[in-house]
Chain A
Amino acid sequence: MEKQVNSLLQIENLAKDFGKLRAVDHLSLSLEEGEIRGLIGPNGSGKTTLINLLTGVYKPTSGRVYFSGKRIDRLPPESITREGIMRTFQVARLFGDMTLLENMLIPAFTQGMSKREASHRAKELLDFCVLGGLSHEPARNLSGGQGMLLQIVRGFMRQPLRLYLLDEPFAGVHPTIKDVMIETIQKMNREEGVTFLVVSHELTIVRRLCSRISVLHGGRLISEGTMKEVANDPRVIDSYLGG
């Protein structure tokens, strides 16, 4: 179903119940093409559930999601990916028995890219992220931070990548690798116009990276704006920043 919308991603009244628990509570949110949006909120506020709903991992209880005007909330994960949406997981989910290079080839293959073309792009990206020297190592040998980094760059193999949902990409990662991640995100946003939704508890990084921030609490959107605006919002102070 198509709908005339101006935003790249439009979420309308989205809700998700797990039994009696309402994890996402009639949430509406929109993302403009080319922005890097931060999504913050205390633990259990529904951030990861929202990512799972947007990528088809969970089916919503009610509500709608439009991507470029196309309704995507009933599509399976693989079809949503084909629309140009990728995601990462809180704990890096890599194909452990495969090498870094093979991990990179998978998303390129699913869109019909040839092995030669895919390998070329994969090597470029791995080199940029300083993982090039490990490209023939099995992914299971990577450290936590390196795994997180690989998970992020693997998503960039999809072309065109229009929206990238990053779920806690900086958690437990060494500062040097964090810098590489930030640099990579900014480069892909600048050069390839990728839109990002970054879920993170690291407010310093969110401030550095994101122009706008949305704040969730109890599955609801309680505030939205620049970091300064949301930081001064009493509802955010009450729920998240703790005064």
Chain B
Amino acid sequence: MENLNDTSISKLKGVSLLLAGSVVVCLLPFWTGQYYQQIFTIAFYYVVLASSWNLIAGYTGQFSLAHHAFAAIGGYTSALLVTRFGFPMWAGILAALSSSALMGFILGVLCLRMRAIYLAIATWAFAESVRIFISMTYEITRGDLGLAVPKIFLGEGRGVACYYLFLGLAAATVFMISIINRSKMGYYLRAIRDDEMAARVMGIHATRWKIFSFIISSGTAGIAGAFYGHYNGLLTPVMVDFNEMAFIVIMVVIGGIRSIAGPVIGAILIEIFTETFREFGEVRMVVFALAVIAIARLYNEGVVGTVRQFGQWISRRKQARKDVT
């Protein structure tokens, strides 16, 4: 009974924390300036990318290095359809979802029988090909000069509207991944990650589920990329620069891989840090690299895992004191 109460209390604490966090995030635009609105808008974009990458890397164990490329595929698909063919923006965004999911499917079929380093190299090569293709096809994409993209929301309240748009997108992604994680699919993906052969002899069609998770993950990145293009108003091949992928990996690892909250916390922390210390340029990447090494070496469950562990330690101490008295 006591255990049940402890579990209920812990769940209640979790829900309260989530509610408090949601209220703060929803009200944030009313007490921050435009600058922080922008930082958080971009942070939410990275929440989508980091969470969807966590689905494939954290939950399925497929270390893909092409996630930023799927965002770029989505971004350029929507931008080109809207600017060159006069598609309405919503249709461009839907096409972005389809194109990135389709590319995810193709890459999945080609690469997902590969393991570990081979998968990482193959997906990295794919991402580099996308970057070079965008740079070279100047007539279509305007290459390194950048492609001007019609902006979503215009007028005075644009910053706030975009803030809520990306907040909604991030919330929807986190919700979707949390549903997947609790579903049978979530069990299958985790089983595949832990031991693919054992999963197969349990009756799991490993390749099918890996491809499915790749499609979901790349499609989500594609939508995020499309919205990002219409938010930013300009797309360049920098979107497919390896640094972008490195940022996504860093966000997930620092926040806590294999957890729902990890990529959310990681994306927000890293984005705030990056913007705050913008003047230090590439030195920030060195700091991130050191942080990743430290986390991988000392505590590989990231910030979320550390906080959880700390909470458990406090509870144990409280319990010990209670037992003594």
Which residues of A come within 8 Å of B, CB atoms?
55, 57, 76-78, 80-82, 86-87, 89, 93-98, 102, 105-107, 109-111, 154, 158
Tell whether, in the assembled complex, residue B203 and residue A110 are in contact, meaning their CB atoms are under 8 Å apart: yes
Q: Which of B41-49, B158-166, B186-194, B262-270 contacts A (4 or more CB under 8 A)?
A: B186-194
How large, as a class, is the contact surface on chain B? 10 to 19
| Any A CB within 8 A of the CB of B27 | no
| Any A CB within 8 A of the CB of B152 | no
Which residues of B come within 8 Å of A, CB atoms?
184, 187-188, 190-191, 193-195, 197-206, 258
Cβ-closest 4 pairs across A and B: A110-B203, A93-B198, A95-B194, A81-B203
Tell whether, in the assembled complex, residue B201 and residue A106 are in contact, meaning their CB atoms are under 8 Å apart: no
Tell whether, in the assembled complex, residue A95 and residue B190 are in contact, meaning their CB atoms are under 8 Å apart: yes
- A97 surroundings in chain B (CB, below 8 A): 190, 193-194, 258
- A94 surroundings in chain B (CB, below 8 A): 194-195, 198
Please judge, given known A-B contacts A93-B195, A97-B258, whether A86 and B188 are in contact too, CB under 8 Å.
no
Please judge, given known A-B contacts A57-B197, A93-B198, A94-B198, whether A78 and B204 are in contact too, CB under 8 Å.
yes
Tell whether, in the assembled complex, residue B203 and residue A89 are in contact, meaning their CB atoms are under 8 Å apart: no
Which secondary structure dominates chain B's binding surface? helix
Please judge, given known A-B contacts A95-B190, A102-B187, whether A110 and B204 are in contact too, CB under 8 Å.
yes
- B205 surroundings in chain A (CB, below 8 A): 78
Extra contacts besides A78-B200, A109-B184 (5): CB < 8 Å: A57-B201, A78-B203, A87-B201, A93-B198, A94-B198
Q: How long is the Cα–Cα vector from A7 to B184 in the complex, in angstroms?
A: 35
- A78 surroundings in chain B (CB, below 8 A): 200-201, 203-206
Q: Least Cβ distance of A134 to chain B in Å?
A: 14
Q: How long is the Cα–Cα vector from A104 to B191 in the complex, in angstroms?
A: 11
Determine the residue in chain B with the shortest Cβ distance to A77. B200
- B206 surroundings in chain A (CB, below 8 A): 78
Determine the residue in chain A with the shortest Cβ distance to B198. A93
Q: Which residue of B193, B197, B199 contacts A106 across the interface (Cβ within 8 Å)?
A: B199
- B191 surroundings in chain A (CB, below 8 A): 95, 98, 106
Tell whether, in the assembled complex, residue B201 and residue A95 are in contact, meaning their CB atoms are under 8 Å apart: no
Determine the residue in chain B with the shortest Cβ distance to A86. B201
Which of B190, B193, B194, B205 counts the most A-chain CB atoms under 10 A from its CB?
A: B194
Tell whether, in the assembled complex, residue B194 and residue A106 are in contact, meaning their CB atoms are under 8 Å apart: no
Q: Least Cβ distance of B55 to chain A in Å?
A: 15
Which of B188, B191, B194, B201 counts the most A-chain CB atoms under 10 A from its CB?
A: B201
